[in-house]
Structure 1
């Protein structure tokens, strides 16, 4: 996000000021609409990171409240590991991430492209 906001030309903000927009109106009507793709990409990556969180959930949750990675890890026991059920659960747990990434694919690509440009 930082790379994208640094690449926004200052002339855009100055043009909005010349047209009579204040700082809040410039942010709301000029800056935010052009920053939707990078924010979408950041949101998708934040969702993926939160969905796959293992260590915080392992340390901070109880047995009654678990995240998906912790539930999948319970298929591995001390004497036996049920690989078939573990892989089925892993495929099912990856499905929401794949669907969200497919829905927001264009914004992810645009967010990458906009964030890599230097101003």
Structure 2
């Protein structure tokens, strides 16, 4: 075996080892939570390795008399879906306007810079101001207030990503559609959106997951009726007791929508993230 081949084999083994370690560090915590959800509280606190799986934690989370997880789950579906649709629609139209209309270059660069800077602002710093604002206009503890807040939080990310995808579409395709007599709306619907579909799906999934997992703003703007899943999970940590196993069961259930979204849009995500990498 040549020296170069040995070097390549060593590099491949090192890369595989690194990928295996990264997979363990990524999957390990979720696997631990999944196993904890099938333990009793005593077995978990004692660190029991061998245990008899029980379903009582899931029964309590889903059907318990004091549990509000089902309502929290529906609230999260509503908030994440509505805010994702709003952020995607506004972000797409704003990105198209910035890149296709005759805006000065400094305006385009300023908007995209704002999108980056806003993403660096911790959401918790905005929660207090939003609470006072929505209380003043009669939307205190209302799901609509959280939808508006999540749309504002994730619009910059949607704008930045969709603008980068839109930049890869040749203008000549749209000009050809206009020459053939297509209207502006028809050009967007029949030409631009189909080409951007991988980018739209990947961006939509990212925005949905970010909205689904958002906690500090949801905690500030909701009550028991309008709380989302992350807020509902936090409520298992009570004053005199922390229900670890029920918290684990609720965490596993809360991960299902994100996993389904990733499985559904996997091929679109790969295409979207590699768009423009290969000419």
TM range (shorter): 0.7 to 0.9
The match for 1:28 among 174, 189, 194 is 189
Task: Give TM-score scaled by structure 2 length.
Answer: 0.39
Residue deviations 1:3-51, cap 9 Å, x none?
1111111222233344443433322221111111111111111211221
State whether structure 2 residue 257 is matched by structure 1 residue 113: no
C-alpha displacement of 1:69: 0.7
Q: Distance in 2 between matches of 1:63 and 1:17?
A: 52
Structure 2 residue aligned with 1:81 = 242
Structure 1 residue runs of 4 or more that deviate by more than 6 Å after TM superposition: none
Bigger-Rg structure (1/2): 2
Q: CA RMSD in A?
A: 2.1
Q: Distance in 2 between matches of 1:34 and 1:66?
A: 37
Structure 1 residue aligned with 2:224 = 63
Summarize the Cα distance change of 1:5–1:117 in structure 2 as closer, same or farther, 3 Å threshold: farther
State whether structure 2 residue 196 is matched by structure 1 residue 49: no
The question of whether the paired residues in 2 share the 8 Å contact of 1:40 and 1:104 is answered with: yes
Residue deviations 1:45-92, cap 9 Å, x none?
121122112112111111222111111101112333221111111011
The match for 2:168 among 7, 20, 29 is 7
Structure 2 residue aligned with 1:38 = 199
Structure 2 residue aligned with 1:96 = 257
| Bigger relative contact order, structure 1 or 2 (CA pairs below 8 A, ≥6 apart) | 1
State whether structure 2 residue 221 is matched by structure 1 residue 72: no
Equivalent pairs, count:
118
Unaligned runs of 5+ in 2: 1-161
C-alpha displacement of 1:96: 1.4
**Secondary structure in structure 1 of the residue aligned to 2:200:** helix
C-alpha displacement of 1:118: 9.1
The question of whether the paired residues in 1 share the 8 Å contact of 2:218 and 2:227 is answered with: yes
Unaligned runs of 5+ in 1: none
The question of whether the paired residues in 2 share the 8 Å contact of 1:75 and 1:85 is answered with: yes
